Structure 1
């Protein structure tokens, strides 16, 4: 039987240690929510579960009654803490809240692993940690207080910990903290069980436990500590492979290929009957920035699309974003836009940059929030039912800085979907505008300058120069072959993206709105109203620092000259392979000191980094050493506390009796076979020598004499006890003295009478 409910202080310690394990098991759940509402749900679950387990042990409830209490607690507390948006005044359950709570017990698990994190208190997604925490805490406390194997109370918190890891995210910030916290709490519980077993008394009999049991507890704790330290050191020294969790194995419910490519209907925006129709009213749009409808990164030679033909790859995976995303700034700025939808109707949600947080407003706010999906690889958002007039939303996003000098850019390293074979004329034009002898940035700048210089804009409308729609390879070849070059954003963006990819830059097409002649900016509010004719397409290229920078290849609209008669124009391509670049000789700075390196680095930096790495490893080793020694320190502290209480007992008789108990316990720790039912004289004879026999006689006289002990007898007894304890260890080795200090033999009681203060 574990620490039973018969003793208040014992029960309090047991519940506190179980609650500590449960709290440590909740740490991996935090990155999923990152909201104060999580603390309310987790805390309520642990407190309610511990209370139910304690009540069941106190009044001997049957299992069915404990289960009923768990269900009742789930229904009463679940809405305020797990579905707070549906609670009346924040504390009272509502019918809608109860429906979501009950449904969440079965449905929230799948929703949790198919949604972007953190989720905050969105819908009923706090149900999993609340329900698991409630059940785990109830079962753990019940095992701790009502079974003969209280050590098994660590299993429910361990399962809660594993569930948090499996349902969570690939997040390493709390890995060491969670593991170390749970380890310390579990070791404290096992030490508690070992001490309680040694001190348990049933019907006047001491419940026998062997020293081997205690050694097994300490041995297991030591092995876990060593494993923790070794794993931590390996994590520092070795590269960390990607961790697989449940959410990484599930496909999101939104499929971008169920919808037409945003570039496919590009020309319809310029039709005479819709060109002047207001589409979106945007407040907070940075000066000169574009409003992105969608980012397209996959091209099959016919259509540029989002996520490829099968929706595979990072760009095809959309997930729900109920709360916020943590985006690195990386030289950009965080901007907030307020978008009011007017004539715009599409599933794609316009925005700027990398989304951090979005909040919908208007009559359909809840419905839009529930059906919003986002792809963080491309920065594209969508709602399943589509936006329509009257919808509104506020979005916080990280906007990258526009490139000031294309020639200085270096290509990024992202792996893009493969391209079909490009037309020969397109490759020839790259060689004409951007010779291979130039740097990648200079070649990219040459391509963009070529489009701005030689290109002309026409949407093929009535009264305009003929210009065929579409962006298949044959249309792109026609664009770069005819003179003059005539097209619109649909063709220029695709051609520029293909040429940038050929040069070596990861590139993709962006469809959105750019401020133009038809857009209006309100001077008082700063809002920009986009019309249908402000539709535009441009490209993004990734640079060596990983940022995706917007580049507009579209020429400025201007009069189109007469078409030149068709004639073959041959562009000579290099006939020979370019010679390898000359080996660069590092520049030597004559003013550099003797400690500097050719690349400008400083050996001092290397020493500083090595020092910090050494300090980090030393800190980890020290933490592991403390964790390894914590069970033994707990035993030593328990003995010191027991000794202090005995020596400061309220009466002289109790202090004298406590002194004998201290001597008998010390002898037991040194291996003497002290029998609990023996008299003090018999126990003294077991130790041997005249001094223990004299002390036993003095203690018996002080305890049983009619006149009681004399003045100062308690002090003299304790002085004698200290001397005898010193003699017990003086002839022993240091190893034997250490083993006695951490021995569990005395933590249970060996003397006949325990009327004195007990620890």
Structure 2
């Protein structure tokens, strides 16, 4: 049975001369124009220049490989060498020297993930220009090889991968879509039109016996008409192109940075530790800090009855994103920002101290690179987290715009802004009742806020050292606090209580935790005694305004002295108190020396990992075997002249070896066909052997049509050779290495006599 192949029997004719030059020039135009799509990703021209330059370099590489008839794998290896030899010296954000070489090598794998998880523009991060560079180099090499091989249609489509990658890895901003889109389509259509005219000219010339007869003149006329038609279509598309949609769905919208806040305890759990255990310890040293500036650690706008936290966005997008050295951390005006330097001394937590409002921040010190790679920021809450944690010696250089607190007269002329905040649940009913009791008949939001503030500040302060005061801000703790005759607590309880009271009245509010350096009068050194929590409320045109709600620390409740009893009751032995389970510390700050010993073994995930690795190695080997055989077959079929004919017979012999059938070395093709005929009765080996011999001994070069027919016959014979075997045996033969270790094309070497 004759097998009909889906691909054309006659291979495409490569372009030559001026036509080849014209097609390469058109391809260069597609690559350069498509590189403009990288402009929004970098907000500077570095990305577009890297893509265009790499595309031109890939085009030159493709021309060289095509003219020297290098294979696909050799071209790929040469492109990798060019990448490593050129990129470290021309890309502006990879460093210099051997560090640049290592950065380029590692970024070749990681840049595809980082470009999707990092916020735009990518120019704020290191080695991000590797993305457009690699894209331009690979696409330029591939598309040039396809065009010079006579496959202009595939080459034009491959060249469009440059803007496709830029759009896929980009954001919602586009660059002149009504010009860029039609321009790319026009260049691709012109390339296809030139290829179509060249193919028609070749066919007509072959039919007319290669006589001119006005063929060149007709081809030029047809080409001019095609170009004019494409130009008219592009002009029409530019004029009537509809306005691009304002919302675009991009790939980065479906990915979240790898930051999970649930692995960190709420920042408010630091209050008791800082204000008691580290009250006199130096945590930070500040330089350039204004006298009334606040250092912020985190802002919390959500509550679940157990703890206050940073709520998630209602749109489902991640709030924290990886930031770079020039990424804007807030929307404050950079013109009014001044330099502030914070040096870490005794602070060792992941929440990054920042002066409100910090516009940009850079890390210095021995761990600057590690900190920069693990820095995440949420502009909405003005909170930054460094997953590696801060240590002594880390330096934070910030550009901060300190905004003064407006007066009540100014605030009364403004309305409270309605902003999206995190959800609030599990709030005791007594909190809302106490808030309504305090505000009474006050209806203006500012008057209600001031009434709540005065009521809380008139209460008592206690951190649990001199007077009893339970820590935490769960629902039970707040309920007991508001039901008491006089409220007692510290910054942790009062700030959360104020936020919940305001939210019960419909006033948006959030809790802010940080340091107020003026607490002890020393603005240059921040100690644990300077820790503070306050409430922020947004006003139109002024942003978030802070309100201090914690009583002064000298407002300590008086201890009630017990009166002496003249006739004391006899002492009765009280029953022992029931045993209580020890309270669990927050996960990020729990310090249990036996915690690792009590953890259950995790042998199952390790076993699965080992098994998955072994399975992946086996699959990789099988894929490599299949690729090597496919490459060998393709090389044989594309060989010139008689090599393609003998290659078809070599493919038959390799198939026999893979099926564990011995092939006698040194035998003629007809002798081999006779010996193999008994093992493969369904395959017409003798007929194929005679056809191959007829071409080998006929003299001259076989035509492309004859070579294609012989290979079609060989494919049919190979399929018939496996007819007598089971499906599993044929599968084993497909991945057998017998023919790779000893291919039929290798000349036989007789053994030396002993």
- TM-score clears 0.5: yes
In the TM superposition, what whole-angstrom CA distance separates every residue of 1:335-364 from its partner, at most 9, and x where no partner exists? 432111000010111113465432211111
Q: Distance in 2 between matches of 1:67 and 1:316?
A: 38
Structure 2 counterpart of 1:41:
50
Checking the alignment, whether the CA contact within 8 Å between 1:280 and 1:340 is kept in structure 2 is: yes
Q: Which residue is equivalent to 1:233?
A: 243
Assess, with a 3 A threshold, how the Cα gap between structure 1 residues 397 and 232 changes in structure 2: closer, same or farther.
farther
Cα offsets for 1:110-141 (capped at 9, x unmatched):
12212223232734433221111101122233
Deviation at 1:164, TM superposition (A): 1.1
Give 1:292 shift: 0.9
Contact kept? 1:151, 1:190, Cα under 8 Å: no
- Structure 2: distance between partners of 1:167 and 1:118: 12
Q: Distance in 2 between matches of 1:16 and 1:432?
A: 80
Encode CA deviations 1:172-209: one digit per residue, 9 max, x unaligned. 2xx25155134225424534664787697986643666
Q: Deviations over 1:583-617 (max 9, x none)?
A: xxxxxxxxxxxxxxxxxxxxxxxxxxxxxxxxxxx
Work out which of the residue numbers 298, 302, 307 in structure 2 matches 1:298: 302
| Change over 3 Å in CA distance of 1:48–1:332 after alignment to 2 | closer
How big is each residue's C-alpha offset from its partner over 1:33-62, in whole Å with a ceiling of 9 and x where there is no partner? Answer: 335643553343123112213334555555
Look up the SS of the partner of 2:341 in the other structure.
strand
Write out aligned runs for 1:558-577 (5 A): 558-560=554-556, 562=558
Corresponding residue to 1:530 among 526, 530, 534: 526
Residues 608-631 of structure 1, C-alpha deviations (whole Å, 9 max, x = no match): xxxxxxxxxxxxxxxxxxxxxxxx
The answer to whether residue 277 in structure 2 is matched with residue 267 in structure 1 is no
Partners of 2:253 and 2:317 within 8 A in 1: no
Tell me how far 1:279 sits from its aligned partner: 0.4
Deviation of 1:512 after TM superposition, in Å, equals: 0.8
**Per the alignment, in what secondary structure is the counterpart of residue 516 of structure 1?**
helix
Q: 2:38 aligns with which of 16, 29, 39?
A: 29
Q: Deviations over 1:479-507 (max 9, x none)?
A: 33434433221111101111221222322
Is it true that 1:103 corresponds to 2:112 in the alignment?
A: no
C-alpha separation in 1, matches of 2:556 and 2:262: 37
CA–CA distance in 1 between the matches of 2:548 and 2:35?
A: 48
CA 1:158–1:195: 2 relative to 1, 3 Å: closer
Number of the residue aligned with 2:332: 329
What is residue 717 of structure 1 aligned with on the other side? none
Question: Residues of 2 paired with 1:449 and 1:230: CA distance?
Answer: 64
Deviates more, 1:407-416 or 1:211-220: 211-220
- The C-alpha deviation readout for 1:80-131, integer Å capped at 9, x for no partner, is 345844431xxxxx2x544443333233211221222323273443322111
Distance in 2, matches of 1:36 and 1:211, equals 40
Structure 1: how far apart are the matches of 2:532 and 2:55?
A: 55
Asked whether the 8 Å contact 2:35–2:48 carries over to 1, the reply is no
Where 1:282 maps in the other structure, the secondary structure is strand
Cα distance in structure 2, aligned partners of 1:562 and 1:400 = 38
SS in structure 2 of the partner of residue 505 of structure 1? coil
SS of the aligned residue for 2:337 comes to strand
Post-superposition shift, 1:221? 6.4
Please list the CA deviations of residues 279-311 of structure 1 after superposition, one character each: whole Å capped at 9, or x if unmatched.
011223343121111122221112112346xx9
SS of residue matched to 2:252: helix
**Secondary structure of the structure 2 residue equivalent to 1:53:** helix
CA distance in 2, matches of 1:446, 1:331: 35
Do the aligned residues in 1 keep the contact of 2:93 with 2:128 (CA within 8 Å)? no
| SS, match of residue 386 in structure 1 | coil
Equivalent residue runs for 1:253-652 within 5 Å = 253-271=258-276, 273-307=277-311, 317-326=319-328, 327-329=330-332, 333-353=336-356, 356-397=359-400, 402-405=405-408, 406-435=411-440, 438-452=443-457, 454-462=458-466, 465-518=467-520, 520-521=522-523, 528-545=524-541, 547-560=543-556, 562=558
1:115 alignment partner in structure 2 = 118
* Aligned match of 2:5: none
1:637-659 CA-partner distances (Å, limit 9, x unpaired): xxxxxxxxxxxxxxxxxxxxxxx
CA contact (8 A) 1:422 1:473 kept: yes
Q: Are the counterparts in 2 of residues 401 and 549 from structure 1 also a CA contact under 8 Å?
A: no
Seen in structure 2, the aligned counterparts of structure 1 residues 301 and 4 have a Cα distance that, compared at 3 Å, is same
Distance change in 2, residues 1:229/1:3 (3 Å) = farther
Provide closer, same or farther for how the CA distance between residues 315 and 147 of structure 1 changes in structure 2, counting only shifts above 3 A: closer
SS of the residue aligned with 2:517?
Answer: coil
SS at match of 2:298: strand
Shift of residue 390, structure 1, vs aligned partner: 0.8
CA, structure 1 residues 332+38, in 2 after alignment: closer, same or farther (shift >3 Å)? closer
Q: How does 1:111-150 map to 2 (within 5 A)?
A: 111-120=114-123, 122-144=125-147, 146-150=148-152
* Structure 1 range deviating more: 553-562 or 298-307: 553-562
Q: Check whether the contact 1:341–1:388 (CA below 8 A) recurs between aligned residues.
A: yes
Residues in 1 aligned to 2:509 and 2:376: alpha-carbon distance in whole angstroms = 23
Aligned to 1:6: 17
Report the Cα distance in structure 2 between the residues aligned to 1:468 and 1:315, rounded to whole angstroms: 36
Q: Structure 1 residues 2, 519: CA separation in 2 closer, same or farther (over 3 Å shift)?
A: farther
Asked if the contact 2:33/2:180 (under 8 Å) is kept, the reply is: yes
Q: Match for residue 165 of structure 1?
A: 167
TM-score for both structures, normalised by structure 1 = 0.63
1:554 aligned counterpart, secondary structure: coil
Q: In the alignment, is the contact (CA less than 8 A) between 2:256 and 2:317 conserved in 1?
A: no
| Equivalences for residues 693-732 of structure 1 within 5 A | none
2:63 pairs with 1:54: yes
Whether 2:28 is the aligned partner of 1:19: answer yes
Measured against aligned partners, the alpha-carbon deviations of 1:222-254 in whole angstroms (never above 9, x if no partner) come to 66665665553364xxxx33x222222112212
Q: How much does 1:220 deviate? A: 6.5
The two structures, once aligned, show a CA RMSD in angstroms of 3.6
Q: Could you tell me whether the CA contact under 8 Å between 1:2 and 1:147 is conserved in 2?
A: yes
Contact 1:255 1:318 in 2 (8 A): no
- 1:705 corresponds in structure 2 to none
TM-score (norm 2): 0.63
Aligned to 1:611: none
Q: What secondary structure is seen at the aligned counterpart in 1 of 2:519?
A: coil
Q: Distance in 1 between matches of 2:264 and 2:34?
A: 42
Aligned length: 536
Give distance in 2, aligned partners of 1:508 and 1:13.
65
In structure 2, distance between residues paired with 1:204 and 1:135:
41
Gaps of 5+ in 1: 89-93, 522-527, 566-759
